[in-house]
Structure 1
Amino acid sequence: MMRHLRSIMRITWMDNVSKKEILELTGLPSLEDLLIRKNIRCTGHLMRMSPDVLPKQVLYSQLSSGHRKRGRPRLRFNDTIKRNLKLRDIKTDTWTSLK
């Protein structure tokens, strides 16, 4: 995406223009911003589903047995949801009741 924006605006890498400056000039959101928005939208769809639907059951389920590898634990989907909600200044304790 950035390569195409640079070519449209005729900015080379030698011009020393950062990605943030290019996005501000074009008025476009960053790729991270788009992914966070899509994640929150998908989560909203999950929250509106009935409790007996499989995707919602998987969201709230926990493993009863198993082992983890050494090192830092992998992020769960719920962890990424909470991180994205904090980035958008949405309270994580009441996000399930928001419409």
Structure 2
Amino acid sequence: MKLKVYNAVVLPSLLYGCETWTLYRRHIKKLELFQKRALHSILGIKWQDRITNLKVLDKAKSNSIEATIIKTQPRLIGHMIRMDGCQMTKCLMYRELQAGKRNQGRPKLRYKDTVKANLQWCRIKPGNLEGHAMDRSKWRGSTHKAVANFEEACSQKLTTARERHHRTASVVITTDFQCPQCPRLCASRLGLQSHLRVHR
């Protein structure tokens, strides 16, 4: 029941208007952190249980925040492309400013930059965007496919990182830097020199 309330009330309130957001990585991390804390609290999972975040999402039968945003933003883009040409939102989407200047430094992230990044998960090229969006069923299938591709890529990335971490942690360090005054083994010559201060 708590999960149903969370999915029906909390998540829509948290992501209200996310179709128009221009998010940096720090914003997504904060949203993901909120979701992790909420799901851990609802499911009664503590950090001592050593359950990965992927297993928590699978247990809650929920998608990550970034996957939800990747699903909703292309929906809005497809809806705006299918609008009449006189609609204000479509005019704002296709127009550009003729005059103006920006501050010195790296340009800020724009909305169309996030849309292009999300369309890569849909496997849609920007040149075929309008023709692809006219078919609603095909466009809806592309958004679902984008979520599946993103979740698969994230799980594979986290799994490989975890395996690499376990491999490096299981390596036994064999060194010849033994203390001449006690049976202590040091990992490097510098460590041995700092350990010898104890005997001084």
TM range (shorter): 0.7 to 0.9
User: Aligned letter for 1:34?
Assistant: T
Instruction: State whether structure 2 residue 81 is matched by structure 1 residue 72.
Output: no
Q: Which residues of 2 match residues 8-87 of structure 1 at below 5 A?
A: 8-87=42-121
Q: What is the TM-score of this pair, normalised by structure 2?
A: 0.45
Taking every aligned residue pair, what percent have the same amino acid on both sides?
Answer: 33
Instruction: Summarize deviations over 1:62-90 as a string: whole Å, max 9, x none.
Output: 11111111222122222211110102222
The structure whose Rg is larger is 2
Distance, in Å, in 2 between the alignment partners of 1:70 and 1:14 is 48
Where does the alignment leave 5 or more consecutive residues of structure 1 unmatched?
none
Distance, in Å, in 2 between the alignment partners of 1:67 and 1:40 is 29
Instruction: Provide the aligned C-alpha RMSD in A.
Output: 1.6
Distance, in Å, in 2 between the alignment partners of 1:71 and 1:21 is 41
Deviates more, 1:16-25 or 1:32-41: 16-25
Where does the alignment leave 5 or more consecutive residues of structure 2 unmatched?
1-34, 136-200
User: Aligned letter for 1:93?
Assistant: G
Q: What is the TM-score of this pair, normalised by structure 1?
A: 0.85
Is the partner of 2:126 in helix, strand or coil?
A: coil
